[in-house]
Chains A and B, each alone.
Chain A
Amino acid sequence: GDSVTQTKGPVTLSEGTSLTVNCSYETKQYPTLFWYVQYPGEGPQLLFKVPKANEKGSNRGFEATYDKGTTSFHLQKASVQESDSAVYYCVLGGASGSWQLIFGSGTQLTVMP
């Protein structure tokens, strides 16, 4: 079945260091890939989405490339800030004709000042 596997947290970094959260997906269809972010006390919110293979999405310094060859969608940021502390979800949408979003288990990121 369709699935998403991402870096298990928690991840703790110092401000100014680089971030990579690995994400791999399995599906037989052509999904849209998303990264959602959830801050304390709030629901998940869209960070960015990429509907087509070999394209890159980005927002607020975060970026990820939809790599159909390796079925990966790794999240990267060159220099994290304390305000980036949150849970990050890699999400698969539209797989196998389904209407649901398939979430990874989430990666808790804490950035220390």
Chain B
Amino acid sequence: DTTVKQNPRYKLARVGKPVNLICSQTMNHDTMYWYQKKPNQAPKLLLFYYDKILNREADTFEKFQSSRPNNSFCSLYIGSAGLEYSAMYLCASSRGGAGQDTQYFGPGTRLLVL
């Protein structure tokens, strides 16, 4: 089973309110990723966990937080949502990392901030 699951599939949030997105995989993959995708743009890596170590991209360091309580689950947390956070959020996992392993993507969570 190569399924990555994401919840919820759709999320409506108010400006200034927190948002928590959930991802799970049962492939025992070491690495889990979060991407942000806006219309007509390429998916953009926000952060990833390799085992228990979190790596955040420099330009998103303060905007997103994450936790990985166990190998299967990973969350993406926005403390105070702004209009610019409206996007599709894609979770992915891979057995290893270093960009050469196949990443398996979930269906995404569409976030709309009003």
A24 interface residue per 8 A CB criterion: no
Chain A's interface size range is: 20 to 34
- B41 and A105 contacting across the interface, CB-CB below 8 Å: yes
- B99/A106 in contact, CB under 8 A: no
- In the complex, the answer to whether B42 meets A105 with C-beta atoms within 8 Å is yes
For residue B90, which residue of chain A has the nearest CB?
A43
Instruction: Looking at the assembled complex, report how far the CB atom of B29 sits from the nearest CB atom of chain A, in whole angstroms.
Output: 13
Contacts across chains A and B counted by CB atoms under 8 Å = 60
- Within the complex, what minimum Cβ distance (angstroms) separates B32 from chain A? 12
Q: By DSSP majority rule, is chain B's interface helix, strand, loop, or mixed?
A: loop
Asked whether any CB of chain A lies closer than 8 Å to the CB of B107, the reply is yes
In the bound complex, how far is the Cα of B57 from the Cα of A98, in angstroms? 11
0/1 string, B24-55, CB within 8 A of A gives 1: 00000001010000001111010010100001
A66 to B32, CA, bound (A): 27
Contact (Cβ within 8 A) A101 B103: yes
Asked whether any CB of chain B lies closer than 8 Å to the CB of A71, the reply is no
Chain A residue, CB-CB nearest to B103 = A101
CA distance A41 to B107 in the complex (A): 6
Given contacts A99-B48, A106-B42, contact A43 B4 (CB under 8 A): yes
- Once bound together, how far apart are the Cα atoms of A44 and B100, in whole Å? 16
B80 close to A (CB within 8 Å): no
Who on chain B is nearest to A105 by CB? B42
Q: Which of B33, B42, B92, B106 is packed against the most chain A CB atoms within 10 Å?
A: B42
In the complex, A92→B33 CA distance in Å? 16
Contact of B107 with A94 in the complex, beta carbons under 8 Å: no
Q: Which A residues are CB-close (under 8 A) to B97?
A: 99
22 CB contacts below 8 A, A to B, read A31-B99, A32-B99, A41-B107, A43-B92, A43-B105, A43-B108, A44-B43, A46-B103, A92-B99, A93-B99, A93-B100, A98-B99, A99-B31, A99-B48, A99-B55, A99-B98, A100-B57, A100-B99, A101-B99, A103-B43, A104-B42, A105-B41
Q: A95-B99, A101-B103, A105-B41 are in contact. List 9 more A-B contacts (CB 8 A).
A: A41-B107, A43-B92, A44-B90, A45-B104, A93-B101, A94-B100, A99-B98, A103-B42, A105-B42
